[in-house]
């Protein structure tokens, strides 16, 4: 079980994917100069990496947006940084 949880978090470590919330199919726009850092299954994982990047000084701000991923055909929490 811990291996599966660890693998899920590693999947999101700087690259893609972790979600659970009400789904809204409309695209969410982040800041115009934002960068898509990754996408995650849970909002907690998204916030963890966003907080780490901002507190570490790598980025000034971030947002987590629940969005549809057309390739996987499911929703993820997208981490945008700027």
Please, are residues 62 and 50 in contact by the beta-carbon 8 Å criterion? yes
Q: Where are the domains of the chain?
A: 2-81
Q: Is the dihedral of CA 24, 73, 29, 12 positive or negative?
A: positive
For the residues 19-47, what does the mean pLDDT come to? 75
pLDDT value at residue 2: 39
pLDDT tens-place string over residues 34-56: 999 999 999 999 999 999 999 99
pLDDT value at residue 10: 42
Q: Find tokens 């499911």 and name the residue.
A: 74
Q: How far, CA to CA in Å, does 42 sit from each of 32, 33, 80?
A: 24, 24, 15
pLDDT value at residue 29: 58
Report the predicted TM-score, pTM, of the whole model to 2 decimal places.
Answer: 0.64
pLDDT value at residue 32: 78
Please check the confidence at residue 19 and state whether its pLDDT lies above 50.
Answer: no
């Amino acid at each position: 079980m811990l291996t599966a949880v660890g693998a899920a978090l590693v999947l999101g470590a700087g690259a893609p994917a972790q979600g659970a919330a009400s789904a809204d199919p409309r695209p969410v726009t982040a800041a115009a100069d934002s960068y898509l850092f990754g996408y995650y299954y849970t909002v907690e994982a998204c916030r963890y990496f966003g907080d780490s990047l901002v507190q570490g000084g790598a980025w000034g701000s971030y947002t987590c947006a629940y969005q549809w991923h057309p390739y996987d055909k499911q929703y993820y929490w997208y981490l945008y940084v700027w």
